[in-house]
Copies of this chain bind each other. A is one copy, B any other.
Amino acid sequence: MRSEIEPGGRKPRSFIEEARRAQIVASAVAVIAEVGFAQASLARIAKHAGISKGVISYHFAGKEELMEEVVTRVYTEAADHVLAEMEGLQDAGELLRTYVIANAAHMRRHRAQIMALGEIFNNLRTAEGKPRYGVQTSEEIYQALESVFRLGQRTGRFRDFDLRVMAVTLSAAMDSMFGYWAAYPEHDLEAHARELADLFERACST
């Protein structure tokens, strides 16, 4: 099971090429997390990286490609971590709980990255003004969650509820957990995650 956000990898032309791209992406993450997407201009990102603005244009086709690279790196890393934690589990309830807890753990260790990811998801638009990452981007997540719910229903562990509604709601619950923690860093993320796991276990169970 692997993320489908960016199916094909790219081949770096040189070591410097790859290093520069990684550095620019890191600066983009830092700047977006600090000042928000709207204020994250190429000039600001370049300044943070200690390079000239033109360097970004040299290594990336445009701002959109840079943002997509940020999404790809951060998203795949998070997905890989969560999926690795879920690997091997058989019980739908455990899968559900692990999904919630592992996600929270990853958020806590990669706060800036996830904040940047959310900013880009919410704000990046195509040239025509349409959201670059809309609801259809979440389709992959929805289907993965639905497969867990379906397993639970098949084994009799879960009651008979609408798969899509539950998936959309759980996904939104995770986002809101992160959003609340982002706004109130003192908030106990782990406790929130445990409450969420209980909440959805009760909502799903027979």
Seen from chain A, the residues whose Cβ lies within 8 Å of a Cβ on chain B are 35-36, 38-39, 122-123, 125, 129-131, 134-136, 161-162, 165-166, 168-169, 171-173, 175-177, 179-180, 183-184, 191-192, 195-196, 198-200, 202-203
Residues of B within 8 A of A175 (CB): 172
Distance, CA A165 to CA B122, complexed state (A): 23
Q: Is the interface of A mostly helix, strand, loop or mixed?
A: helix
- Give every chain B residue within 8 A of A134 (Cβ-Cβ): 183
Give how many copies assemble into the complex: 2
B199 touches A135 (CB 8 A): no
List B contacts of A202 (CB < 8 A). 202-203
**Chain B residue with Cβ nearest A165:** B195
Are A39 and B129 closer than 8 Å at their CB atoms? yes
Contact B131 A36 (CB under 8 A): yes
Residues of B within 8 A of A196 (CB): 165, 169
Sample of 11 more A-B contacts, CB < 8 Å, known A161-B195, A162-B195, A173-B173 = A36-B131, A38-B125, A135-B179, A135-B183, A135-B184, A165-B192, A165-B196, A168-B177, A169-B173, A172-B173, A172-B175
